[in-house]
Amino acid sequence: MYAATKDHPRYTIVQIDMSTGDKPVAFMPAQDEVLSYVDAEHSSGIVAGKDALYVLYRKVGDMGIYKIPYTSKQVSKINVNGKGSIAELKFRGDNDLVFAQFNAIRSMQYMLYDYDQDTVAPLPFSKLSLDLSDDVVTEVIEIPSRDGKKIPVTLVYKKDLNIKGKNALLIEAYGNSGAVRDVGHDPHQMPWINRHGIYAYAHVRGGGELGLEWIDDGQFPHKMNSINDVVDVAEYFIKNNYTSPDKQFVMGGSAGSFLVGNSINQRPDLFAGGIFQAGLPDLVTYRDAAYARERGSVGDIATREGFQSLFSLSALYHIPTNSNLPAMLVVHGATDYIIDLTAPSRYIASLQAKQKGSKPQLLMVNWEGGHQGSGIDEIIGTLKFMLWQSGHPEFQQVK
């Protein structure tokens, strides 16, 4: 058996003899890229053929596969013929590898690596995959943080768009517990993109995209780095004319909601609005499943340091006073088993009470929805809210 270890920030691979229980033996040292022992769907990123081991590696927007023959242990990269994300490593025969390749403008295409010929080609039915590259662009840029880190951000936008034309722009982020987002094609984003909005996924600290150090630098006691990264990304987009404060939104769900409320609290002047989905705005008083699950990443209230961290991350307690707040849409499912409806309701009530401007503070509840979203009504409602608040002419109130 082969397994990843945390002996290095980018991981290493060891060989384990399950029949003897002997100590694991080093098989593959750390490489230039982050080894990905699972893909975004939690399937194995380490698969063993008859003559070689294949290991997925992670690079935002440009994932790949290492091949290591058992005899030589010489590490090489397979030429996967394209940039994007990779998942679902499976075998056809003893050594030939099937994998799925995709990105924000192309749906999953299944590829076959021929071990003997050292070639990669699409499987015949993969020619049916959706390809929007004639009309839509995706790219990865790196944005500097206030402490010198480089934050990878995946952009998706129409090819004919003036990218630095102060466009409507949506930042989405999660950055928690080592979770990764290998950005694939999402048809729900297309109404925003087709109306000349930019979609930007910020791979902030706390996520697993750049290895262990990137994870640890966005978890307790450094969780505020995740929020600061979002703010720094938003400020960069405005300074470089991608967007303007009246057209920029930030969105996050579950633990990603920490980033929404707190980035707006920190810099309300950068945002037209926020989308706070299935979130917890008060980590101090709530002891539900969300706190139990996230305690390792946000802090333990039983300690002084943990309480201070939880208080600092609770957006409810840090809403700016006497301020013209950006618009906010709080979205929640009434049957959410992780976070009940009480905290989001308190949050939106506090926002409404402290709003000194004219931007709406709204709560959208799906009475049958849970933690994983409320279906098409939530998607459409969120899109309409952003188009309305960004000033799109087709979504303004008729006087």
What pLDDT shows up at residue 40? 82
CATH ID of 2-128, from 3.40.50.300, 2.40.50.140, 2.130.10.120, 1.20.1440.230: 2.130.10.120
Active site residues: 254, 336, 371
Q: Lowest-pLDDT range, 78-82, 133-137, 296-300, 371-375? A: 371-375
Do 66 and 31 contact (CB within 8 A), yes or no?
yes
Do 49 and 95 contact (CB within 8 A), yes or no?
yes
Q: Find the mean pLDDT for residues 231-235.
A: 98
Which ranges in the chain are annotated with CATH 2.130.10.120? 2-128
Residue 374 pLDDT level (bands cut at 50, 70, 90):
low
What pLDDT shows up at residue 21? 84
pTM: 0.96
What pLDDT shows up at residue 364? 95
Query: Per residue in 322-357, pLDDT tens?
Result: 889 999 999 999 998 888 899 999 999 999 999 999
Handedness of CA 320, 322, 327, 333 (dihedral sign): positive
CATH ID of 136-395, from 2.60.40.1930, 1.10.3720.10, 1.10.20.10, 3.40.50.1820: 3.40.50.1820
Q: Find the mean pLDDT for residues 287-310.
A: 88
Q: Find the mean pLDDT for residues 104-111.
A: 95
**Strand blocks (E) in the chain:** 2-5, 12-15, 25-28, 34-35, 46-48, 52-58, 64-69, 76-77, 85-92, 96-103, 106-114, 119-122, 136-144, 150-158, 168-172, 197-202, 248-253, 273-277, 327-333, 361-366
What pLDDT shows up at residue 345? 96
Phi, psi of 112 (to 5 degrees): -125, 125
Q: Are strands 46-48 and 12-15 parallel, antiparallel or unpaired?
A: unpaired
Which ranges in the chain are annotated with CATH 3.40.50.1820? 136-395
Q: Are strands 273-277 and 248-253 parallel, antiparallel or unpaired?
A: parallel
Q: Find the mean pLDDT for residues 203-231.
A: 97
Do 249 and 386 contact (CB within 8 A), yes or no?
yes
Question: Please, which residues bridge with residue 139 across strands?
Answer: 155
